[in-house]
Amino acid sequence: MRTALSWLGRTLLFLAVALCFAPTVVPPFLDRVYYDGPPSDHFDGGRFFNPGPVPPARRISMFDRWAGSEPQAVWPDEVAVRPTVPPRRVEGGDMVVTWIGHATVLVQTEGLNILTDPIWSDIASPVAFAGPRRVRQPGVRFEDLPRIDLVLVSHNHYDHLDLPTLRRLWERDRPLIVTGLGNDTIMLGRGIEAVARDWGEHVPVRPGIEVVMARNYHWTSRWLTDRNRALWSAFAVRTPSGAIFFAGDTGLGGGAWAREAAAHGPYRLAILPIGAYAPRAVMRSSHLNPGEALGVFDILRPTMALGMHWGTFQLSWEAIDAPPRALAALSRARGLPPSRFVTTEVGQSFRVPPLAR
């Protein structure tokens, strides 16, 4: 036991020292410039940033963050999944939603198949031998996936911009891929074409349907020193039967982004992250917890919401089922009907009621 603890201590010390020196040692090798454009209220000419006041935070060291009083939950190695075969198309104003896992959601409506942050890979990492591993297999096998028309990629973290999956989708379906500024450069390196836009810009999909690039509160990086070289974003997909909001990966920040996004409604469906929130001192600026997701729900006022970004890759310390349990308890305490903000098992499909008039 002492030998193991000694090895673990040396390993952690090495990683700490490596991280301290990384910004001065690796920029020539690992920095990337994905976007070149004029400065704005969220781009300084080199890197993007979250505009507005920065929420106050206590200054904490790396060891305080990861070795605090909050224990890390142990996840199972695998959770059984019963995959589904979704319909090929859903026509008219009907809307069918399938949570495939993590932030990957299939939304079918108006004859359009929409896929968010698709990842079918078993590991979310720049290397194949280390990183968060999938404990739930995708709820839809890739070969059972209907032809995809529209793909929304929120940012470039490996659990959201998965190049192997995007390459397969591009080769098979040639979908319209919409993402934030700079992320298209990463995809183009693999022969994948994407439309990259800034917050507030509109992307036409087909007559009567468009994507509005919406602000959220996050950051980006593929390596150690390319932080915020590309833009993170949420999306509002406007359709004749109501808008769909996909929050991507986001913290609450000051909440201004959610109030801005509400203007792109009314929303029939909101897809909101509820997991990877502990320890809170670390994750507050990156990920919503279930209570904050409920606050965003109140601002957007969708007919229905789906909680995602939990139970697939262990990115944080909470138990695998803590996010849906917390969301359900908070919803009950507020008297919110359980059918309004739902969580489902991977591979489960459900229908979204018509937009409330």
Convert the pLDDT of each residue in 195-226 to its tens digit: 999 999 999 999 999 999 999 999 999 987 99
Query: Token digits for 228?
Result: 């915020």
**What is the dihedral sign for C-alpha 276, 319, 141, 246?**
negative
Q: For a pLDDT cut of 70, what percent of the chain falls above it?
A: 87
Q: Note if the bond before 53 is cis, omega within 30 degrees.
A: no
Identify whether the C-beta of residue 161 lies closer than 8 Å to the C-beta of residue 186: yes
DSSP string, 37-69: ---BTTB-SS-B---SPPPP-----HHHHHSSS
pLDDT for residue 18 is more than 70: no
Indicate the class that CATH gives domain 95-348.
alpha beta
Its sign, for the CA torsion 126, 131, 137, 139, is: negative
Tell me the pLDDT tens digit for each residue of 123-140: 999 887 888 999 999 999
Residue 60 has pLDDT above 80, yes or no: no
The confidence score (pLDDT) of residue 223 equals 86
- Residue 126, token pair as written in the block: 């720049």
Single-letter amino acid, residue 188 = L
